[in-house]
Amino acid sequence: MNIGRSALPPPISREPVLMLTTVMRTTGLLAIAACAASVATLAACSSGSGQQAGVVTVSNNQCGSSWQLPRPGWHTFKVNNQGTNGAEIDLLDPANGAVYAEIESSGPGTTTPMSLKVGSGKYAFLCLFADSDPDQGPTVTVAGHVAGTRPILPVTYNDLYPLSKQYQAETEAGLKVLAPETAALAAAVRDGNLAAARRDWLTAHLQYETLGDAYGAFGTFDDEIDGRADALGVNNPQWTGFYRLEYGLWHDQSLQSLTPVASTLNTDVGKLVVWWKTQQVPLTDIGRRTHEVLENALEFQLTGHDDYGSGTTLATTVANIQATRALLALLDPLLTPRYPGLAAVKSGLAQLQALLLKERQSNGSWIPVAKLATQTRQEIDAACGQLLQELAPIASITEPRNTARGF
Amino acid sequence: MASDQPDGAAENDQPPALTPEPNVRSEPAGRRSFLRGLAGGVAGGVLAGGAGGYLYHGNPADPAAAANKAAVLGRLPAVPFHGKNQAGILPKPKGVTAVVSFDVTAGDRASLIDLFQTVTDRARFLTEGGTPPPSGIGGPPADSGILGPTVVPDGLTVTFGVGATLFDDRFGLAALRPAHLATMTSFPDDDLDPAQCGGDLVVQMSAGNTDTVLHAMRDIAKHTRGGMQANWRIDGFASPARPAGTVPRNLLGFMDGVANPPVTSATEMKELVWVQRGAPGEPAWTAGGSYLVIRLIRMLVEFWDRVDVGEQEAMFGRRKDTGFPLDANSLYAAPNYTLDPTGDIIQLNAHIRLANPRTKQTASSRILRRGWNYDRGIDQVGDLDMGLIFTCYQQDIKRQFETVQTRLIGEPLVDYISPFGGGYFLAVPGVTGPSDFYGRALFA
């Protein structure tokens, strides 16, 4: 044996009781395990359960009645569902319901790992069995001053419902701005005024892109209004919408031939305005879209994929930033206490927007991505990639969760 | 002479013994501002700590155990990350590799330091292995998961180099530019594509398996999105020696790198590979580094395969089947050019004769040659796009690689190869311990 090893932490043992003794002696840290429904002494706990270390049994009438820890730190609970049906199992701080870890779906008869860094604090399992009342297990206190996984206050359906209504209303207002813009565009095309048509196209398209329609918010309307030529090909008459019109306006197609295209676009927007009033935004969508809109911008705009001739995909990305900001503004009260990275998200949005706006010419036109200097393009792509990393946790944090108190 | 010994016959073929004790580390204090989003994320603080190789208690997934098990499953154990020199330089190519050139997008010196620290942290974790931390409900998974729940080392090395452009006016590093670092020279037989040349940084990841390399690549990229952007990339592989016990072949069918200086000779490594403290003109921070020349060389294999084997062997100066020099009866024998002054046996412009004339005067121009094969699809006429990722290490690019390459100008082989990319870099000194990071002395 190498003498230097004495400096290392004590080895990990599979024997929890033995291990606990070691930890108590060497570090003074104390993990108190809960037995049955009350906080009990270590001795009582260890002699009473006889269960495999780390195994937590849950059932319809028992939620984590016996668990113990060798010491604070990384730990994997093996949550064994002995109930008769499926359940969501959370490990929470009983003081405020903040969640350390969760198993979204634990099937009957299964054992599912739940991993976290257990630090000093209070812990309790919460079992949400289908068709049963929420059942909170005993509280376990881990003493000392050891930092562990930071619990997050769950966002509930009740938290999100008003935001969903507000989002719906804001989008409705945005669509009402869009409708006269597509009408003006259709008129310019019909009048044979190419300059006006191009100008009005950009105005209307950017307005549409501020609505953050990623991932089917507008159902099939998005295919009709903002669909790509991808599967259809640019000569397919089934291809309609903004990009179809862009292709024509910037590829010398006659305005006469484009008049029905612009008219159909305007009609479809009108239908969307009506349809949208009857829609309800799924609650999980708000959080997810905070990164999905810009994921799409990176995939389709910053690559130049969606440049059908106008060279304005950087402007589209700015509009997508606006859409993302609107979503974040809605979620702000929920995110502020839950997400320490929020400030970085905001500065990341500002940084990306500033980089993009530098590529707008004084005459209002935009530099196509394909013509950007390499360094500029790298800076934009890096800023967008970093921002997306920062946005990514929001969907998880704002996913609506059942809780004993909030639901 | 020493260089006639088999390259690294006794070198790091056998990975070092595993430390049996669990790799439990405390979480490093603080968090890089560079990773602001991940930092802010609930999983973020944990993620940086992941560099230490976290374990789940009660679920003994310590890297040592994982590596032992993994070795059984065909995975290589860990190559120690910390050391005076970077760990990926001396070992012979094995398994697969990926070379990625990056440009720095970090806006200032502090962000650049964050970037170097972050790459170091990730490389330390990835090479040691361990269990990535769970994200809880605070975000998407911290790890791509493509290696399963426990990251196995699989012999991963992460070699980190800096290019000349890093020492422009952006970060105030101009005065600290390594003495021999410059933009890669375009030689007369080259056909360089600027889009596949150079870069502020280079990261070469090599391991036993492709999934390990791709895992490392995704991990490093994910943690550095704001700080650097990939320029060009090439993937390669090391062929096994065929027959066993010889030297791996390139895709022209010839053994490659037979005459390397022995990496077990500290003297020769000192004279040829490592930048020495106090070397003329060399800033102090570079000591322990090594200049890395990367040349991406397409091999026109269809053309080559239509060439008579005698002509092929004449071009190289070695037998294709055995790898022996044409004037000798063993693989590692030194060709005797003194006895063959007019090139009757090994022609005067044969590749091995020009590359290493084996004279006193040319001894100091020897390089540590590390070749990887690449294979990436087809060209416009349907011919295969494959060739060599030539990499070599040295302490002075002009004295070594460029001198060798200059001797090779116009060699008969140039008709069958086409160098199209690469760059000059300094593989920075090694990371000596948990608080050190790539290039720390550069910022001191």
End-to-end CA separation in angstroms for chain A? 57
Q: Which residue has the higher pLDDT, A104 or B38?
A: A104
B413/A135 Cα distance (integer angstroms): 77
Residues 265-324 in A contacting B (C-alpha not used; CB under 8 Å): none
| pLDDT tens profile B55-93 | 223 333 455 555 556 555 678 899 999 999 999 999 999
More confident residue, A164 or B9: A164
Residue B138, pLDDT score: 87
Write the ipTM. Answer: 0.83
Confidence of residue A209 (pLDDT cuts 50, 70, 90): very high
Cβ separation A397–B139 shorter than 8 A: yes
Instruction: Return the bridge partners of A55, or none.
Output: A78
Would you state the pLDDT for residue A16?
32
Compute the average pLDDT of residues A106-125.
92
Which residues of chain A have a CB within 8 Å of the CB of B59? 54, 76, 113
Chain A stretch 186-225, residues whose beta carbon is closer than 8 A to a beta carbon of chain B: none
CA distance A272 to A265: 10
Report the number of secondary-structure helices (H) and strands (E) in chain B: 10, 8
The pLDDT of residue A68: 67
pTM (two decimals)? 0.85
The answer on pLDDT for B165 being more than 50 is yes
A55-59 and A73-81 beta bridge pairing? parallel
A-contacting residues of B 109-138, CB under 8 Å? 131, 133-138
* pLDDT at res. B406: 97
**Does A6 contact B at CB distance below 8 Å?**
no
Are B134 and A116 a contacting pair at CB < 8 A? Answer: yes
Measure A75 CA to nearest chain B CA, in Å: 5
Q: Across A335-344, B24-33, B34-43, which has the greatest mean pLDDT?
A: A335-344
Asked if B36 lies within 8 A of A347 by C-beta distance, the reply is: yes
Q: Could you tell me if A10 lies within 8 Å of chain B, comparing CB atoms?
A: no
The answer, yes or no, to whether residue B420 has pLDDT greater than 60, is: yes
CB-CB neighbors (< 8 A) of A347 in chain B: 36
| Whole-number pLDDT of residue A1 | 32
Bridge partner list, B384: B378
Q: How far, in Å, CA of A19 to CA of A44, rounded?
A: 16
Mean pLDDT of A158-163: 94
Confidence tier at B307 by pLDDT (50, 70, 90): very high
- The candidate with the shortest Cα–Cα distance to B131, out of B69, B70, B77, B51, is B51
Q: What burial class does residue B444 get, using C-beta atoms within 10 Å of its C-beta: 0-12 exposed, 13-18 middle, 19+ buried?
A: exposed
Q: What pLDDT is attached to residue B35? A: 44
Contacts of B141 in chain A (CB under 8 A): none
Residue contact B229–A99, C-beta within 8 A:
no
CB contact under 8 A, B36 and A16: no
Per-residue pLDDT tens for B177-213?
Answer: 999 999 999 999 999 999 999 999 999 999 999 999 9
At residue A312, does pLDDT exceed 90?
yes
Q: Does B227 touch chain A (CB under 8 A)?
A: yes
Q: What is the mean pLDDT of residues A38-54?
A: 37
Residue of B24, B37, B137 with shortest CB distance to A344: B37
Across the interface, do B37 and A379 touch by the CB < 8 Å criterion? no
Token readout for B238 is 């090391």
| pLDDT: which is higher, A106 or A49 | A106
Q: What is the mean pLDDT of residues A348-366?
A: 96
Residues of B in contact with A385 (CB under 8 A): 225-226
CB distance A393–B43 less than 8 Å? yes
Spatial distance between the Cα atoms of B169 and B433, rounded to a whole number of angstroms: 30
B27 to chain A: closest CA residue: A147
Cβ–Cβ contact A342 with B under 8 A: yes
Give the C-alpha distances (Å, rounded to integers) separating B24 from A24, A68, B57, B60: 18, 20, 10, 11
A344–B40 C-beta distance less than 8 A: yes
Shortest alpha-carbon distance between residue A18 and chain B (Å): 13
Name, of A147-151, B25-29, B230-234, the range with top average pLDDT.
B230-234
Contact A117 B133 (CB under 8 A): yes
Would you say residue B24 has pLDDT above 80?
Answer: no
- Which of B32, B56, B168 to mutate to test binding with chain A, by most A CBs within 10 Å of its CB? B56
Answer whether residue A213 shows pLDDT above 80: no
Least confident of A24-38, A171-185, A236-250, B313-327: A24-38
Shortest distance, CA B223 to any CA of chain A (angstroms): 9
Q: Which of A291-305, B49-63, B364-378 has the lowest mean pLDDT?
A: B49-63
Q: Do B56 and A339 touch (CB under 8 A)?
A: no
Task: Give the pLDDT score at B440.
Answer: 97
**B151, HSE (Cβ side, Cα atoms, 13 Å):** 34
Interface test with B, best of A29, A75, A150 (most B CBs within 10 A): A150
| B309 pLDDT above the threshold of 70 | yes
- Stretch 107-126 of chain A: residues touching chain B, C-beta under 8 Å: 113, 115-117
Higher-pLDDT residue of B335 and B38 is: B335
Mean pLDDT on A331-347: 96
Separation CA A266–CA B417 (nearest Å): 59
Does the beta-carbon distance from B36 to A115 stay under 8 Å? Answer: no
Structural contact between residues A304 and A368, judged by C-beta atoms closer than 8 angstroms: yes
Are the C-beta atoms of residues B393 and B273 closer than 8 Å to each other? yes
- Of the residues B33, B47, B59, the best mutation for testing chain A's interface (the one with the most A CB atoms within 10 Å of its CB) is B59
Residue B16 has pLDDT above 70, yes or no: no
Q: How far does the CA of residue B384 sit from the closest CA of chain A (Å)?
A: 28
Binning pLDDT at 50, 70 and 90, where does residue A45 land? very low
pLDDT at A280: 86
Measured over the CA atoms of residue A86, residue A87, residue A88 and residue A92, the dihedral's sign is negative
CB-CB neighbors (< 8 A) of B44 in chain A: 340-341
pLDDT digits (tens, 9 = 90+) for A316-334: 999 999 999 999 999 999 9
Give, for A179, the enclosing helix (H) or strand (E). helix A157-190
Please indicate if any CB of chain B lies within 8 Å of the CB of A148: no
| pLDDT in the model for residue B149 | 87
Cβ–Cβ pairs < 8 A, chains A and B = 155
Chain B residues whose beta carbon lies within 8 Å of the beta carbon of residue A374: 103
- Of residues A19 and A286, more confidence is placed in A286
Range A36-53 average pLDDT: 34
Whether the CB of A51 is below 8 Å from some CB of chain B: the reply is no
